[in-house]
């Protein structure tokens, strides 16, 4: 059915928007089953040719908001609706033709489902986790392997700015692996669906302070902890006290620290 939609509406991926269409019907169906959809508020980001949208509608959410930048895709959706490909019923159904980084919602209890291209993954995650007034309770996101390697510490078991700013706001797990051959056109690498469950474990740490410090320190992630402290003009006795309080080794590096240790460090530093 997914490939039939592409053929019927003469849909072609736009390189300018980094479009890769997931065309495996079974995988699309499985994605729609991962989180509870029925009577929930759902925001689908970059739904593109609406194959997953159709599955979500069948699950009868309370509301479904689609955020799509490509006006041509919205025209196709409207054609599919007029052709009765969709039975929207009494779902609160809305389409927003807007850049996702400018999108805001009045809904306070909702889930995000998205297929995110590599080049805009970090900005979108930062937007939903830090910048939006009403933040999602969870997110189900299909992304390329390069990104989820960093998020899940699969790059030599080292942390990164990306993994840390996500871990401050949510727990993450991989729920579905997707081979590149399941896309049209096929990307160069595999993808995976990650489930983000948002939490408030580190809300006592100021977000701006947290982001400023991890970005600054990760300019030199391989430097030893004590040397990076000195670069921040902290007195040596203060540095030693912080290291001792947290039972850290003097030769540990920034990229070896987990989110809990990072937050304990940041609590002890004034900027």
pLDDT tens per residue, range 98-145? 999 999 999 999 999 998 877 788 999 999 999 999 999 999 999 988
Q: Provide the percentage of residues in the chain whose pLDDT is more than 90.
A: 48
**Residue-level length of the chain:** 271
Asked if 134 contacts 107 with a C-beta cutoff of 8 angstroms, the reply is yes
228 or 190, which is more confident? 190
Q: What is the pLDDT of residues 54-92, one digit of tens each?
A: 999 999 999 999 999 889 888 888 888 888 888 899 999
68 three-state secondary structure: coil
Residue 257 has pLDDT above 80, yes or no: yes
The domain made up of 207-267 has a fold known as Helicase, Ruva Protein; domain 3 (1.10.8)
Asked if 57 contacts 77 with a C-beta cutoff of 8 angstroms, the reply is no
Who's near 175: CB < 8 A, 6+ residues apart? 34, 140, 193, 194, 195
Q: What is the pLDDT of residues 11-35, one digit of tens each?
A: 676 776 667 778 899 999 999 999 9
**Domain coordinates of the chain in residue numbers?**
2-198, 207-267
CATH class of residue range 2-198: alpha beta
Beta-strand ranges (E) seen in 98-242 are: 111-115, 138-144, 170-178, 183-184, 191-198
Residue 2 has pLDDT above 60, yes or no: yes
Beta-strand ranges (E) seen in 116-265 are: 138-144, 170-178, 183-184, 191-198
Give pTM, 2 decimals: 0.89
Who's near 259: CB < 8 A, 6+ residues apart? 159, 164, 167, 168, 202
| pLDDT at residue 115 in the model | 87
22 three-state secondary structure: strand
Residue 190 has pLDDT above 90, yes or no: yes
């Amino acid at each position: 059915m997914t490939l039939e939609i592409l053929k019927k509406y003469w849909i072609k991926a736009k390189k300018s928007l980094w479009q890769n269409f997931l065309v495996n019907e079974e995988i699309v169906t499985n994605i729609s089953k991962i989180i509870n959809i029925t009577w929930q508020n759902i925001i689908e980001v970059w739904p593109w040719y609406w194959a997953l949208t159709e599955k979500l509608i069948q699950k009868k959410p309370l509301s479904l908001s689609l955020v799509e930048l490509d006006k041509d895709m919205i025209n196709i959706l409207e054609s599919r609706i007029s052709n009765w490909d969709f039975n929207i019923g009494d779902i609160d159904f809305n389409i927003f033709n807007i850049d996702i980084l400018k999108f805001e919602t009045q809904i306070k209890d909702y889930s995000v489902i998205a297929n995110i291209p590599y080049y805009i993954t970090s900005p979108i995650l930062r937007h939903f986790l830090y910048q939006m007034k009403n933040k999602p309770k969870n997110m189900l996101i299909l992304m390329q392997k390069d990104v989820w390697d960093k998020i899940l510490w699969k790059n030599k078991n080292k942390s990164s700015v990306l993994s840390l700013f996500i871990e401050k706001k949510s727990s993450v797990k991989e729920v579905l692996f997707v081979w590149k051959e399941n896309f049209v056109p096929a990307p160069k690498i595999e993808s995976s669906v990650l489930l983000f469950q948002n939490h408030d474990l580190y809300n006592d740490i100021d977000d701006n302070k947290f982001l400023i410090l991890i970005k600054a320190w990760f300019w030199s992630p391989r430097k030893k902890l004590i040397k990076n402290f000195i670069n921040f003009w902290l007195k040596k006795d203060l540095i030693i006290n912080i290291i001792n309080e947290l039972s850290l080794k003097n030769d540990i590096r920034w990229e070896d620290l987990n989110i809990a240790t990072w937050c304990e460090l940041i609590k002890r530093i004034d900027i």
